[in-house]
């Protein structure tokens, strides 16, 4: 559920929507989303 809420918040921003809509293929879209969600993920301690 956390992923969906992160995506919903980001999709409110026009530039983010443009990046998503501008993806050339499903592979590039998945790569973009994965990179975006992983870059802002808190680091696990341990």
Per-residue pLDDT tens for 4-20? 888 899 999 999 999 99
- Beta carbons of 32 and 19 less than 8 angstroms apart: yes
- First-last CA distance in the chain: 24
Query: CA–CA separation, 15 vs 11, rounded Å?
Result: 9
Question: What average pLDDT does the structure give for the chain?
Answer: 85
What's the whole-model pTM score? Answer: 0.63
Query: CA–CA separation, 16 vs 10, rounded Å?
Result: 6
Element holding 15 (H helix, E strand): helix 14-21
């Amino acid at each position: 559920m956390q992923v969906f809420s992160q995506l919903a918040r980001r999709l409110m921003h026009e530039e983010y929507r443009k990046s998503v809509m501008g993806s050339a293929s499903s592979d590039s879209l998945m790569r973009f989303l994965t990179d975006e969600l992983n870059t802002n993920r808190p680091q696990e301690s341990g």
